[in-house]
């Protein structure tokens, strides 16, 4: 076997994670029709060669349902985490640059959001927006920006005092120029890693809130819906309805984590020679 | 302290605003379209009044907040009892669960973190780290489902749900029954809670073990046990404790999910029921109560800084 150095290993790991996630998303989206097909001639089958994850009480193929659900979760996760991270970037920068009053107000809001348990806040927000797809996306987006906003605020505060920024100011470079040319490149890696590491949380919370009945409607093959339906059939010994979709959810979340962490390592200049 | 009270006030304002803008019609959600159609205008008007439809939100908020300060959180619309009473009963159930899980996950997580951090890269470290990473990615409710499958359905050693046996009068419920019913939910919560604290403690521990003072202690020939006991423990304990007190919010969130799976009649389940059934007073009550717990936890964390770390004590209070 060829011995790879740490950096190449990380790149490979990152690539595998990303490719897997893209494939799941594409395949799931492609088969979304097939996930709804019911066939009573094949209901309640245990996992086998033909139906990898078995079938449910309506004869729906659990493997396809799982993939579709995951694909749904990933897309919601990307949407919500994307919105959330932009929010974090905006608020974090505003807090650090717009003076004391704005800073106090934004820090206050962060404390407020962090003060209510995530799940409860998600329930409240999802309730406020009439549950369903909109409720989930807005809910997840509004609850996940806080920690990244804090990081960015701290980072910008430090940057403002940095010598090269001060110099640029003295040289008469405009604020917009400083923000774009000098601050953004510095913030970018942190932002990107923060964004990717936000996905797993977003996905987990989407699944949880859907599981509780506040998220996606029951006719959608979402992971949360699948798992909450499986609860009714658990006592009858249909373990496959819960086991495999859950395992794949865990796998997806781990892979996002792996992708984020390897990206962090790659972008960290300290690890270049490993 | 004042800051906390203000924050609490704003939590209630935010929560109230959120439930007020909701387009969900409590009548439709609870009575159903068909039943509504069959009702007379008078009946509908009566029901609207019961669910508080049609009163301006601001007016409703002040009425609610005013009563709240007098200790009256209103009537739960679904349970048809005062919210304080519903929350009281549910809170006791949940506190059992959360307290056990909180302590267990804290202690186990801390120990695992130290064991794993003593020698970075050792087999033990890799096992513990891998375990924590996997658990951190596992949704609490799925873990609950799996444990339920294994212990209640497959091995049949533990009950499948609720906090007391079915069909037994309240007076006939023994402590053993209660414990038996709390085992699975508590274990689930503990397992999920461990991951965070372990990973955090491990990081700190690695930092400590690489420090100069530990190097010097090694050079003096101190044993690993003594190094951990004399040099590492205090340094690692502070951040761990802070994290553990700050994680009350997480434990609470986990308990909502876990209680749902085990049909455990606690605060979390009540919150879900209230949310699904548009029981606004109950939902608000639970939000404020849980926020009290979260803020309380943060406050304790801040105070503990001073107790454990003399440097901060000298620097004045941080809370």
* Chain B residues whose beta carbon lies within 8 Å of the beta carbon of residue A231: 145, 261
pTM of this structure = 0.80
Q: Are B306 and B312 in contact (CB under 8 A)?
A: yes
Q: With an 8 Å Cβ cutoff, is B23 touching chain A? A: yes
Phi and psi at A55, nearest 5°, equal -130, 165
Q: Which domains does chain B have, with CATH numbers?
A: 2-69 (no CATH), 83-318 (1.10.3720.10)
| pLDDT tens-digit series, residues A179-198 | 888 888 888 888 888 888 88
Provide the residue count of chain B: 319
Q: Are A18 and A259 in contact (CB under 8 A)?
A: yes
Residues in chain B predicted with pLDDT less than 70, given as ranges, are: 1, 21-75, 77, 156-178, 308-319
* Other residues' Cβ atoms within 10 Å of the Cβ of residue A251: 16
Q: Are A159 and A243 in contact (CB under 8 A)?
A: no
Upper half-sphere CA count for residue A155 (Cβ side, 13 Å): 23
DSSP category for residue A3: P
Three-state SS at B186: helix
Q: Are A207 and A193 in contact (CB under 8 A)?
A: no
Q: What is the predicted pLDDT for the residue at B23?
A: 65
In a domain, A13, yes or no: yes
- The structural domain count of chain A equals 1
Find the CB nearest A117 among B19, B140, B290.
B290
In a domain, A1, yes or no: no
In a domain, A258, yes or no: yes
Three-state SS at B127: helix
- What's the 3-state SS for B30-52? HHCHHHHHHCCHHHHHHHHHHHC
Q: Mark out chain A residues that contact chain B at CB-CB < 8 A.
A: 108, 111-112, 114-120, 123-131, 200, 204, 207-208, 211-214, 227, 230-231, 234-235, 237, 239, 242-243, 246, 249-250, 253-254, 257
| pLDDT tens-digit series, residues A118-171 | 888 888 888 888 777 888 888 888 888 888 888 888 888 888 888 888 888 888
Domain at A202, CATH number = 1.10.3720.10
Report the sign of the C-alpha dihedral through residues B130, B131, B132, B135, in that order: positive
How close, in Å, is residue B218 to chain A by CA atoms?
27
* Chain B residues whose beta carbon lies within 8 Å of the beta carbon of residue A213: 272, 276
Q: Can you give the C-alpha Rg of chain B in angstroms?
A: 24
| pLDDT tens-digit series, residues A253-264 | 888 888 888 888
Mean per-residue pLDDT for A19-42? 73
Query: What is the extent of the structural domain holding A25?
Result: 6-273
In B259-278, the residues whose Cβ lies within 8 Å of chain A are: 260-261, 268, 271-272, 275-276, 278
């Amino acid at each position: 076997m060829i011995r790879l150095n740490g950096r190449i290993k990380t790149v490979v790991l990152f690539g595998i994670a990303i490719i897997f996630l893209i494939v799941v998303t594409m395949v799931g989206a492609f088969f979304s029709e097939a996930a709804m097909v019911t066939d009573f001639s094949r209901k309640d089958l245990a996992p086998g060669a033909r139906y990898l994850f078995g079938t449910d009480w309506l004869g729906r193929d659990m493997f396809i349902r799982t993939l579709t659900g995951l694909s749904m979760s990933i897309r919601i996760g990307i949407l919500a985490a994307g919105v959330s991270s932009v929010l974090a970037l905006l608020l974090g920068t505003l807090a650090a640059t717009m003076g004391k009053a704005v800073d106090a107000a934004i820090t206050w809001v962060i404390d407020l959001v962090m003060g209510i348990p995530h799940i409860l806040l998600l329930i409240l927000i999802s309730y406020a927006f009439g549950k369903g797809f909109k409720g989930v996306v807005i809910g997840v987006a509004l609850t996940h920006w806080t920690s990244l906003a804090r990081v960015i605020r701290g980072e910008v505060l430090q940057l403002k005092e940095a010598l090269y920024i001060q110099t640029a100011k003295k040289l008469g470079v405009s604020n917009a120029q400083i923000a774009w040319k000098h601050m953004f490149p510095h913030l970018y890696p942190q932002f990107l890693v923060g964004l990717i590491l936000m996905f797993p949380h977003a996905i987990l919370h989407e699944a949880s809130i859907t599981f509780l009945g506040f998220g996606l409607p029951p006719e959608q093959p979402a992971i949360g819906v699948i798992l909450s339906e499986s609860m009714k059939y658990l006592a009858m010994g249909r373990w496959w309805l819960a086991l495999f979709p859950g395992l794949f959810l865990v796998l997806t979340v781990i892979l996002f984590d792996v992708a984020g962490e390897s990206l962090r390592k790659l972008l960290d200049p300290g690890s270049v020679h490993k | 302290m004042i800051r906390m009270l203000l924050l609490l006030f704003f939590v209630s304002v935010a929560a109230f605003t959120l439930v007020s803008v909701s387009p969900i019609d409590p009548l439709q959600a609870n009575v159903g379209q068909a039943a509504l159609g069959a009702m007379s205008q008078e009946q509908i008007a009566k029901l609207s009044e019961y669910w508080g439809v049609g009163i301006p939100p601001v007016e409703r908020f002040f009425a609610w907040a005013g009563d709240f300060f007098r200790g009256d959180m209103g009537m739960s619309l679904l349970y048809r009892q005062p919210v304080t009473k519903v929350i009281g009963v549910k809170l006791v159930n949940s506190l059992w669960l959360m307290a056990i899980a909180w302590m267990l996950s804290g202690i186990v997580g801390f120990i695992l973190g130290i064991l794993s951090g003593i020698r970075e890269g050792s087999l033990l470290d890799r096992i513990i780290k891998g375990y924590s990473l996997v658990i951190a990615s596992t949704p609490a409710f799925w873990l609950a489902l799996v444990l339920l499958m294994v212990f209640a359905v497959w091995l049949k050693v533990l009950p499948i749900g609720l906090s007391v046996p079915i069909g037994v009068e309240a007076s006939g419920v023994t402590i053993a029954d209660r414990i038996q019913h709390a085992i699975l939910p508590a274990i689930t919560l503990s397992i999920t809670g461990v991951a965070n604290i372990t990973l955090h403690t491990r990081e700190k521990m690695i930092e400590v073990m690489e420090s100069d003072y530990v190097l010097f202690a090694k050079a003096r020939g101190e044993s690993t046990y003594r190094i951990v006991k004399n040099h590492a423990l205090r340094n690692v304990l502070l951040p761990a404790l802070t994290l553990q007190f700050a994680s009350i919010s997480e434990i609470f969130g986990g308990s909502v999910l876990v209680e749902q799976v085990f049909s455990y009649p606690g605060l979390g389940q009540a919150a879900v029921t209230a949310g699904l059934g548009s029981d606004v007073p109950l939902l608000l009550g639970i939000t404020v109560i849980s926020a009290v717990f979260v803020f309380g936890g943060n406050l304790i964390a801040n105070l503990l800084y001073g107790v454990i770390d003399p440097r901060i004590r000298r620097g004045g209070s941080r809370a």
